[in-house]
């Protein structure tokens, strides 16, 4: 029942965003076309996003490399274009991955609350320092996870629910992760490694991390559409190329053996950590 309600809310969010987007394009006469480059970027970014790597950083890099739009329109293109593929991810994984409904709802609510309330506190902190701290924290966590994969340290990894202190820690940290999203620190990798280290089956983390982002992104997308600070052609390509890629990647994750998935998680978190440290270095270089 609760899962059906969550899925219904996600469908409503997707339809609301699509309708607002349609009326904007029609009123602005912006055209309903895109490019092969945008479609390809949307497909590749969302395929790997479904594996847990994240779509914003690789998409931003591709936009800058191909010089596809103005810098001030990039955040809008990301939030509008990737919102519907992210909702597709959440719908799929919430539908077929078994996970504690209580934990799912609690972590999603915590992340959304963190983005809406906790961001007021986090936004006062230095972004570069946060990225450096999160980058090294993820590298350390990935190291522990690799050690578990190799059998060097004991650890679980097949639970579908948490209780007691582990439950409280997961919820509290998802509040923090939601707040950090407003600074451009992705939620996927921290959520994935946290829940895995707490002993959960890595697959069980997917509906939680995707559900949280799927509720946050449409709200951001609506804001960018209302302010006309996005590139409609790019966003359309990301959405159109992204949804089929999500369907393909979801099948890959679903059929992937658990031991292989654990190594994929390790790789995903290391990549995310290196991207975060690279972003911190790039922001420091701009100030010099």
Q: Could you give the CA distance from residue 169 to residue 198 in angstroms, rounded to a whole number?
A: 9
Q: What is the pLDDT of residues 168-185, one digit of tens each?
A: 999 999 998 888 876 667
pLDDT of residue 137: 83
Say which residue the tokens 């809008």 belong to: 76
pLDDT of residue 288: 56
pLDDT in tens, the chain (288 residues): 889 999 999 999 999 999 999 999 888 876 667 899 999 999 999 998 998 888 887 888 889 889 899 888 988 899 899 999 999 999 999 988 889 999 999 999 999 898 888 767 766 777 778 778 878 888 888 888 888 888 776 655 788 999 999 999 999 999 988 888 766 677 888 898 899 889 898 888 899 999 999 998 898 889 899 999 999 999 999 999 999 999 999 988 888 887 888 888 888 888 888 887 887 787 666 665
pLDDT of residue 171: 97
Cα dist from 225 to 68, 71, 159, 209, 235, whole Å: 18, 16, 41, 25, 11
Helix residue ranges per DSSP H, the chain: 2-28, 36-50, 56-66, 74-96, 101-113, 119-122, 127-149, 164-181, 188-197, 202-226, 232-255, 258-287
Q: What is the pLDDT of residues 83-113, one digit of tens each?
A: 999 999 999 999 888 899 999 999 999 998 9
Per-position DSSP letters for 2-61, written without gaps between them: HHHHHHHHHHHHHHHHHHHHHHHHHHHT--S---HHHHHHHHHHHHHHHTTS-SHHHHHH
pLDDT of residue 230: 92
């Amino acid at each position: 029942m609760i899962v059906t309600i969550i899925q219904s809310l996600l469908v409503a969010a997707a339809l609301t965003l699509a309708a607002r987007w349609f009326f904007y394009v029609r009123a602005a006469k912006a055209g309903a076309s895109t490019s092969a480059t945008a479609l390809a970027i949307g497909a590749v970014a969302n395929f790997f996003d479904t594996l847990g790597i994240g779509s914003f950083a690789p998409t931003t890099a591709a936009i800058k490399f191909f010089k596809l739009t103005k810098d001030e329109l990039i955040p809008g293109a990301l939030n509008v274009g990737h919102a519907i593929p992210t909702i597709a991810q959440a719908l799929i994984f919430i539908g077929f991955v078994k996970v504690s409904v209580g934990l799912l709802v609690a972590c999603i609510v915590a992340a959304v609350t963190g983005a809406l309330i906790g961001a007021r506190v986090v936004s006062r902190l230095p972004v570069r320092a946060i990225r450096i701290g999160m980058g090294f924290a993820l590298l350390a966590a990935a190291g522990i996870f690799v050690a578990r994969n190799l059998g060097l340290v004991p650890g679980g990894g097949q639970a579908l629910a948490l209780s007691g202190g582990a439950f409280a820690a997961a919820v509290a940290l998802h509040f923090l992760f939601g707040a950090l999203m407003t600074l451009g620190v992705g939620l996927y990798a921290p959520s994935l490694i946290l829940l895995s280290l707490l002993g959960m089956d890595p697959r069980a983390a997917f509906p939680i991390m995707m559900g949280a982002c799927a509720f946050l992104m449409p709200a951001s997308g609506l804001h960018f559409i209302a302010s006309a600070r996005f590139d409609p052609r790019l966003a359309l390509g990301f959405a159109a190329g992204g949804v089929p890629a999500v369907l393909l990647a979801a099948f890959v994750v679903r059929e992937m053996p658990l031991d292989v998935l654990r190594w994929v998680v390790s790789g995903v978190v290391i990549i995310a950590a290196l991207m975060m440290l690279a972003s911190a270095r790039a922001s420091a270089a701009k100030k010099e």
